[in-house]
Amino acid sequence: MIGRRTAITLSDGRELIYFDENPAADRTGQPDTRDLPPPPPTSQLRYDPLVDEWVAVAAHRQTRTFLPPTDKCPLCPSTPDFASEIPAPDYDVAVFENQFPSFSDRVVADEITRLTDQVPVRPAVGRCEVVCFTSDHHTSFAALSPQRVRTVLDALADRTAQMSALPGVAQVFPFENRGVEIGVTLSHPHGQIYAYPMVPPRTTAMLAAARRHAERTGGRNLYADVLAAERRAEIRVVGANEHWTAYVPAASRWPYEVQLAPHRHVPDIPALTPQERDAFAPLYLDVLNRFDALFDRPMPYIAAWHQAVVGEGRDLGYLHLQLFSIRRATDKLKYLAGSESAMGAFINDVTPERAAHLLREAL
């Protein structure tokens, strides 16, 4: 739970916000001493007319930091020998603008407007932030205390509300990538938040399905009905408490996938009550520990918060967290092969019912 919120400006003009659990935390006298170049200009959005989707082109990200040694980790607190992205000698939760953003509001004046008659180009206006869950480089989200998870959730609520209000933002997406198998380039426990300037493909598909369901059922919410059916069936439920249920989707695409959803229909993290935020931590930490116990090793995963869009279709959204791993056995990973990568047609190697059973038995 946040005791104090302090915003500072890094040496290149980017924003950093400390979310401290101690109300007396003092962040004065901790300036960024680095001499940094200015942030890169906004990347491009290029339209793909064949599938009606926008693709971001951010060439500056080729130079982003890649698996640095521990003593040069940019997400650790700064030391007398190394100035990191976080000037403080310690912190609870820290959020800052990404130095290598896919989306930003730094627009150049001579932006290209069209490549061909079918391919318009526009600035990828939005925002990308990094969320550091802890100053401890050698831990993981699963090892955080329930209090720290609550602080992270409150920070995500703060950033979702602020970023949703930015001009041109269509959806705010907080997520965590964990493990080199997933493609993580910084091993410090952290997540990211993308403020998209367009509605991404999966959300577009979910909105279309939710809209058709509402039309067929007189206005019922699709996700609410799916969640209610899973709670009744029980066979794919991994865990639950008064406010949340964790279950394996009946048609999951990944070998091990769990969705955590509040029992109450809410659009996004800011809409959760204090009681719902408190109840999230014990269940999520339990699921994460089950993931790690499944093969007796740290499980690579992606944790993705699906929130309602900012504009049209917001009423159709239903907040939920999608947690999934590409590990399908102790020594095997699920790589996206031809069917998945080229056609988007997934083939799962583990039945959802089997996955739920193994996760229930994992601890």
Please answer whether residues 60 and 124 qualify as being in contact, where contact means their C-beta atoms are separated by less than 8 angstroms.
no
**Which listed residue (60, 137, 138, 190) is catalytic?**
190
Whether residue 357 lies in the annotated active site: no
Neighbours of 211 (CB within 10 A): 14
Rounded Cα gap, residues 363 and 324, in angstroms: 18
Rounded Cα gap, residues 169 and 185, in angstroms: 26
Rounded Cα gap, residues 360 and 363, in angstroms: 7
Three-state secondary structure of 49-105: CCCCEEEEECHHHHHCCCCCCHHHCCCCECECCECCCECCCCCCEEEEECCCCCCCC
In this structure, what are the phi and psi dihedrals at residue 182, rounded to the nearest 5 degrees? -80, -25
Going from the C-alpha of 139 to that of each of 142, 177, 178, 190, the distances in angstroms are 8, 14, 12, 10
Please answer whether residues 200 and 295 qualify as being in contact, where contact means their C-beta atoms are separated by less than 8 angstroms.
no
Neighbours of 200 (CB within 10 A): 16
What residues form DSSP beta bridges with 15?
A: 9
Residues known to be catalytic: 190
